[in-house]
Chains A and B, each alone.
Chain A
Amino acid sequence: MQSFTYERAQTPAEAAKAAAERENAKFIAGGTNLLDLMKLEIERPTHLIDVGRLGLKEIEDTSDGGLRIGTLVSNTALSAHPRVRRDYAVLTRAIQAGASGQLRNKATTGGNLLQRTRCPYFYDTNMPCNKRQPGAGCAAQGGYSRQLGVVGVSDSCIATYPGDMAVAMRVLDAVVETIAPDGTERRIPIADFHRLWGDTPHIENALQPGELITHVTLPRPIGGRHVYRKVRDRASYAFALVSVAAVLQPDGRGRVAFGGVAPKPWRMPEADAELPRGAKAVVGRAFADARPTEHNRFKIALAQRALAGILSDAPAQQEG
């Protein structure tokens, strides 16, 4: 690991300001993704700003009946919150389908949104990777691409956003709140938070340098049946090959987002609209522009089967 100086920020504004003042500075929250990558020298900050003591650990009701989640709320605490379990169960299900108990205790809401891809070539510093080193090339294309993206990918990079929590937040239309180094606050809809990176795969989200996530807000609950189904190589403690987050209404309408298939949680309003016509119609629409490799073509069929399984379940039943 490259050496770094360290400071503990006391307020969100101060953290953002400090990040802009120092060259090559990074925030550290739980550290479960950043330190993993720092040990491999994939991330090489020379200054760490610890945001772990900023407060921001509250989950509060908003005036319109929604929920405002501080960025430092742990994945465990968020998934266990009584209102999340009751009103946003897809979020509890998605979080609990990810990582391990130990990691979820440490992982924070903002850090989870910002976790980086699990492309094996991104992790292998001996291989060319445009995301790690812009312009180096992409070893995954023509390589072993079973886990990688099938839709929204580019010639530069076919990696996926690997997380679970954000897929649920996408069907819930969450909003990410931030503060910039100059003190400006803004609200970024989750749909616009993760980028389709095109030929700049090292730029993965809408945050500007030094911009700090302070909260994530969930709009008023929309009822319905909440489901998160994750398909992976083992039954627990593995990243998704494909995941499906869905909120389904009794009349057959609803919302659906796919994880493990694209650079961001994959949801299209046009695909949502196909829900009453079944899984084939939804997946046909959501993956119309897919460009899978021979190794990961199976993900499209898998997405369809996972969704079909959800739709055919008894409406009263909840599942994970």
Chain B
Amino acid sequence: MSEARRFPVSRRGVIAGGTASVAAANLPWSDVKAQQVERSVEPPSVSVSLNINGEERDLELDTRVTLLDALREHVGLTGTKKGCDHGQCGACTVMVNGERVNSCLSLAVMHEGDEITTIEGLGTPDALHPMQAAFVKHDGYQCGYCTPGQICSAVAVLQEIERGIPSHVTDDLLADMQPTNMEMRERMSGNICRCGAYSNIAEAMADVAEG
């Protein structure tokens, strides 16, 4: 069924937000009963435009689709991994508008117009990102499942240190931040590695930090 048929223009207007939401109560389909009928027929879906690794992607998604599932199941970028699906492991880490986030705890629809960078966008097998190259050099993984999340996080951590964002282990909040081993370990604590490749990951990061 075409999206246009499933969602008449007025509904799309509200889904897209804007001033339409205030008027929503007056529209016939926002009637609670009508809504329930609609829901039992077909779950609500929305159109979302994401800029993924520099490419515009227009998607029609169930409102429930997380950014992680949008990337993996709808765009086919399976580099980003699903570990826990609850913000606890970091396997799903991607960058949104330059900041690392857990893509499992965010809805795709919340990211309309956002720039998403996944592991596929950092580098390619022929032209590795320096952090990818350093992970290879230092054996920063064993099974590799957590690795895309680790690498996205590691790249972001070095940027966060450079931007002067303090951490739990920063002694002097008013001094410049340094990419010490302690700092990197603390800042990477949101990425769990079941294989325990932590010390090699820290070495890979130190390598990149030293330039």
Contact = CB atoms under 8 A, between A and B. Distances in A.
Interface of A: 1, 3-10, 14, 17-18, 21-23, 28, 30-32, 35-36, 39, 46, 48-50, 52-53, 76, 79-80, 85-86, 89, 92-93, 96-97, 99-103, 105-106, 235-237, 318, 320
**Ordered nearest first, which 7 A-B pairs have the shortest CB separation?**
A100-B190, A8-B17, A236-B189, A3-B43, A237-B189, A85-B173, A80-B165
B35 A28 contact: no
Interface of B: 14-22, 24-25, 30, 32, 35, 39, 43-44, 46, 62-64, 66, 85-87, 90, 93, 99-102, 105-107, 109-110, 112, 153, 156-157, 160, 163-174, 186-191
A6 B46 contact: yes
A51 B8 CA distance: 24
Nearest to A21: B25
Contact of B102 (A18, A96, A103): A103
A18 B22 contact: yes
25 contacts: A1-B64, A3-B43, A3-B62, A3-B63, A3-B64, A4-B44, A6-B44, A7-B24, A8-B17, A8-B21, A8-B112, A17-B22, A18-B21, A28-B110, A30-B106, A86-B174, A100-B87, A100-B90, A101-B189, A103-B87, A105-B99, A235-B189, A236-B168, A236-B186, A318-B173
A101 B163 CA distance: 14
A31 B110 CA distance: 9
A100 B101 contact: no
A8 B16 contact: yes
B166 A6 contact: no
B204 to A, nearest CB: 17
A30 B104 CA distance: 12
Contacts of A9: 17, 21
Given A3-B62, A48-B63, A106 B32 contact: no
Nearest to A234: B189
Given A6-B44, A14-B21, A101 B190 contact: yes
Contacts, number: 153
Nearest to B107: A31
Given A101-B100, A105-B100, A7 B105 contact: no
Nearest to A29: B110
Contacts of B44: 3-6
A96 B87 CA distance: 17
Contacts of B172: 318
Nearest to A49: B21
Contacts of B166: 79-80, 85, 92, 96
B17 A105 contact: no
Nearest to A100: B190
A112 to B, nearest CB: 14
Contacts of B39: 3, 46
Given A17-B22, A32-B102, A7 B15 contact: yes
Contacts of A31: 105-107, 110
Contact of B168 (A5, A96, A102, A103): A96
A6 B168 contact: no
A38 to B, nearest CB: 8
A103 B100 CA distance: 9
Contacts of B20: 7
Given A31-B106, A102-B190, A10 B19 contact: yes
A39 to B, nearest CB: 7
B15 A6 contact: yes
